[in-house]
């Protein structure tokens, strides 16, 4: 659209809206019919009720971590019932605990003295 057509269209819309505004009544519609706002009917009272809590069908629990790391430190080795095997496993466990305590004391990286898989219960 050219610039002159836009101006002509804008002027035409302004004239039409001014004409429509002139036809509207100047006073309130209530004064047209001889009423005041006090004479209007009051709205019906609305009764409010406290919301009723619905019981959920689902049990919502806090989110559990996707991975649990458990280090088997302090867990005694399992007892097999064979005295010689149990004694050797216990001696190896005690030696590992002493070595681990020494490494912790030095500030070095320590290891787990568990015979299971790290991170598994």
Q: Which DSSP string do the residues of 43-59 spell out, in sequence order?
A: PPPPP--PPPPPPPSS-
Express each pLDDT in 3-14 by its tens digit.
Answer: 888 888 988 988
Mean pLDDT within 42-70: 79
Express each pLDDT in 79-109 by its tens digit.
Answer: 888 899 889 888 888 888 888 888 888 887 7
Task: Report whether pLDDT(20) > 80.
Answer: no
H/E element holding 15?
helix 3-23
User: By the 8 A CB rule, do 73 and 114 touch?
Assistant: yes
What pLDDT does residue 118 have?
Answer: 47
Model confidence band, residue 27 (pLDDT cutoffs 50, 70, 90): low
What pLDDT does residue 116 have?
Answer: 53
What pLDDT does residue 58 have?
Answer: 82
Rounded-to-integer distance, Cα 92 and Cα 77, Å: 10
Residue environment code for 10-22, b if the CB has 16+ CB neighbours within 10 A, otherwise e: eeeeeeeeeeeee
Rounded-to-integer distance, Cα 12 and Cα 6, Å: 10
Rounded-to-integer distance, Cα 118 and Cα 70, Å: 7
């Amino acid at each position: 659209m050219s610039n002159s057509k836009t101006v002509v269209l804008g002027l035409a819309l302004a004239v039409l809206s001014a004409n429509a505004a002139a036809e509207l009544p100047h006073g309130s519609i209530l004064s047209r019919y001889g009423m005041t706002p006090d004479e209007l009917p009051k709205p019906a009272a609305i009764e409010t009720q406290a919301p009723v809590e619905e019981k959920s069908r689902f049990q919502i629990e806090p989110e559990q971590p996707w991975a649990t790391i458990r280090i088997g430190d302090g867990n005694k080795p399992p007892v097999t019932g064979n005295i010689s095997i149990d004694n050797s496993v216990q001696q190896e466990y005690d030696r590992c605990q002493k070595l681990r305590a020494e490494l912790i004391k030095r500030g070095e990286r320590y290891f787990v003295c568990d015979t299971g898989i790290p991170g598994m219960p």
